[in-house]
Amino acid sequence: MCQGCFNQLLLRHEFHSGGMAGLLGKAVGIPTRRAFMAYSVGAASMLTAVGAAPAFAADGGADLILRGGTIRPLPGAAVSSAIAIKGSKVLAVGDESALSGLKTGNTKLVDLAGRTLLPGLIDPHCHTLLASLIFELLDDVGYAKYPSREKLIAHLKQVAGTTPKGQWIVGSNFDNLLQGGDFTRTELDAISTDQPIFVWYTNGHDACVNSEALQIAGISEDVGDLPGGGHFGRGADGKLNGLVYEESAMLKFAVHFLGKITPEVAAKAVAHYSSHMGSVGNTMLHEPGTIRSDWIEQFAKLSTTLACRTSASVMFDDMKGLAPWRSLGLGPKGATVADSLFSLYGVKIVGDGSNQTETGAQTKPYLNSTSKGSPNFDAALMKHMVAEVKAFGLPVLIHCNGDYTIDISLDAIEAAYSGSTAYGINRIEHATMARPDQILRMKKLNVQPSFLMNHVRFYGAAYRDQIFGPERAAFMDPAAACVKADLPFTLHTDGPCSPPGPLALISTAVTRRCIIDNSVVGPDQAVALDEAIRAVTIDAARQIGQGDRLGSLEKGKEADFTILERDPYKVSSDAIADIKVSETWVAGERKFAA
């Protein structure tokens, strides 16, 4: 569950055979699914990429007609009963009788059998490559598998009992809020002093280690802060308590337990993860900041074999690496690379950390605390960085969990872009604690937020009771305020930081229900179903420069769609998350079937 954008520790060149430029290599088959599949809430059955593109019709008719169900081409638009596909694009949408003239002897017919067909569902903020490697290589010790601290500790003790002395025990996805609070050095020492232990938090920014790990990494009691924000936690006695913060500090340990990742392993992991994402309804994933520019060519080649379209924005420090690709358009055009299913968009800046670990930068202190968190860059540096992105001719995406970070980010965007969308839509990622005035300011500046609605789904009660208090928590992820301001917004999972699945995001946006205690957090910020679906279809497509190609089912657009066993408009709002995904199609080709 997300506590901020995941860092790129596993993507550093030190851990990859032949360096990162050779990471992806040649795409290979999908491996046996891993234990991380259990992490998905309500995941579909075994993942497979199935079927092939329909045979082309000999003349001007349709290659494929799907009929006999409910087709919703765009939220709020009239419902249809048939859709015709020609090649990779939508030929027509309408009543079955009206489309009958497009049928030829070569047209393939698909009976929807009462199912519901929606535009392909898009996750506009998901770290595809990073998530793939984490779930392939590390032990998932997250909440979905070990919902109590007791079960988690029992698991770690069992692993310690079967692990040779001196060999690392490494877990990922630990959730300090849902699994009993922060781990400590003392607690991990009680599990083992013979093996070094590294437990990575689900936010990606934090970890906890035992004494053996500190010794192997050469971390002494007098260690200071490291470049890039890396630092180590201390207890009330001033001694190291085992907590490790940010990439530069965690790297001190990772160099000892991560071996070389081969191109074959990486390609299998990405294929596997993509198939999983398709099985929960996604047809496109946008990766903000965890694909580097020198991987673009390889990833574009790999994309043609995946179950979902993919897209990426690069990190600010890698921005100039996009220079060879600028001729494609990028930004507002969301340029597709060569003949692939991969496109490029903008530039990512990580403005602060995590609200759950009180590193999101706020204008008011956290509940029962004097801490407000702090931004990763001061206001002047943020303005300078955003101005550089604008000068390079691209849109900017700024990670902002705290409202102070939103303030300085909007100041920087206003100074650089003055409300222009000529370079594409500028985005505030997460925008978790956006204030009412900031929503209105985003509207004025043509800046759009993307909400991680799983914050409400999993952390709503914790935000209310532990982190912010009832009043501030009621306005977290304020989607309804966006609707009132006529400001488009999107919904994302920030994978691997929260379970995949757009249907759960839709359900939570409509209900505002926290499934941990079944409470409703901020009911005034609930939105209508049309608005929630727009946030993972047409508005998501527009936020990555693909609105003219994806996000709705209209003549000439790409034939990307998701088929559901039940109509989300005809079930209870809470039940939407549990609707079974029947099929997903990308560019007129079936990619997943349950």
Query: Is 208 inside a domain boundary?
Result: yes
- What is the band of 73 on the pLDDT scale with cuts at 50, 70, 90? very high
Structure-block tokens of residue 252: 């001190």
Residue 437: alpha-carbon gap to chain centroid: 26
Q: How confident is the model at residue 246, as a pLDDT?
A: 83
DSSP 8-state code for residue 16? B
pLDDT score of 430: 98
Do the domain assignments include residue 195? yes
pLDDT over 90 at 39, yes or no: no
Write the single-letter amino acid at 90. Answer: V
pLDDT at 354: 87
DSSP state of 42: T
Count: domains in the chain: 1
Q: What is the pLDDT of residue 153?
A: 97
Q: Note whether 386 and 413 are within 8 A (CB).
A: yes
* CA angle (345, 350, 355) in 5-degree steps: 130
Q: Indicate whether 207 belongs to any domain.
A: yes
Tell which residue, 128, 138, 255, has the closest CA to residue 201: 138
Other beta carbons within 10 angstroms of residue 79's beta carbon come to: 12
Q: pLDDT band at 7, cuts 50/70/90?
A: low
Q: What's the sign of the alpha-carbon dihedral 82, 85, 88, 89?
A: negative
Domain span including residue 203:
9-33+128-257
- Could you tell me the pLDDT band of residue 135, with boundaries at 50, 70 and 90? confident
Kindly tell me the burial class for residue 216, based on how many C-beta atoms sit within 10 Å of its own C-beta (0-12, 13-18, 19 or more). middle
Nearest to 476 by CA among 523, 524, 433, 428: 433
CATH of residue 195: 3.10.310.70
**170: in domain:** yes
- Reported pTM: 0.86
- pLDDT tens digits for range 459-511: 999 999 999 999 999 999 999 999 999 999 999 999 988 899 999 999 999 99
Q: What is the pLDDT of residue 328?
A: 81
Question: Which pLDDT belongs to residue 87?
Answer: 96
325: in domain:
no
Closest listed residue to residue 269, CA positions, set 43, 495, 560, 582 = 495
- Identify the residue whose tokens are 């596997």: 272
Specify the pLDDT at position 402.
Answer: 98
What pLDDT sits at residue 46?
A: 26
Beta strands 519-520 and 561-564, pairing class? unpaired
Q: What is the mean pLDDT of residues 250-276?
A: 86
pLDDT by residue (tens digit) across 82-134? 999 999 999 999 999 999 999 999 999 999 999 999 999 999 999 998 888 88
Structure tokens at 331: 């930004």
Helix, strand, or coil here: 146? coil
Q: In the predicted model, what is the mean pLDDT of residues 58-87? A: 93
Say if 429 falls within a structural domain.
no
* pLDDT over threshold 90, residue 199: yes
Mean pLDDT of 271-293: 94
Confidence at 14, pLDDT banded by 50, 70, 90? low
Q: Does 240 score more than 80 pLDDT? A: yes
Question: What average pLDDT does the segment 327-334 reach?
Answer: 79
To 10 degrees, what angle do helices 403-417 and 379-392 make?
A: 40
447-451, strands of its sheet edge to edge: 121-123, 282-288, 309-315, 342-350, 396-400, 426-430, 447-451, 490-491
Confidence band, pLDDT 50/70/90 cuts, at residue 10: low
Distances 252 to 165, 214, 255 between C-alpha atoms, Å: 20, 9, 6
Q: In 3D, which of 535, 534, 546 has the Cα closest to residue 586?
A: 546
Q: Which of 55-64, 244-253, 335-344, 522-531 is predicted with the least confidence, judged by mean pLDDT?
A: 55-64
Residue 83 has phi, psi (to 5 degrees) of -140, 135
How far, in Å, are 70, 143, 466 from residue 178 at the CA level? 39, 7, 12
Residue length, the chain?
594
Task: Give domain status of residue 57, yes or no.
Answer: no
How distant, in Å, are the alpha carbons of 138, 142, 194, 591 from that of 274? 18, 20, 38, 10
User: Please, what is the average pLDDT of the chain?
Assistant: 89
Please say if the pLDDT value at position 574 is more than 90. Answer: yes
| pLDDT at site 36 | 32
Distances (CA, A) of 477 to 23, 384, 449: 36, 28, 9
CB burial of 173-197 (b: ≥16 within 10 Å; e: otherwise) equals: bbbbbbbbebbbbebbbebbeebbb
Helix/strand/coil (H/E/C) assignment for every residue in 70-86 = EECCCCCCCCEEEEEEE
Domain assignment of residue 18, yes or no:
yes
CA 349 – CA 388 distance, rounded (Å)? 12
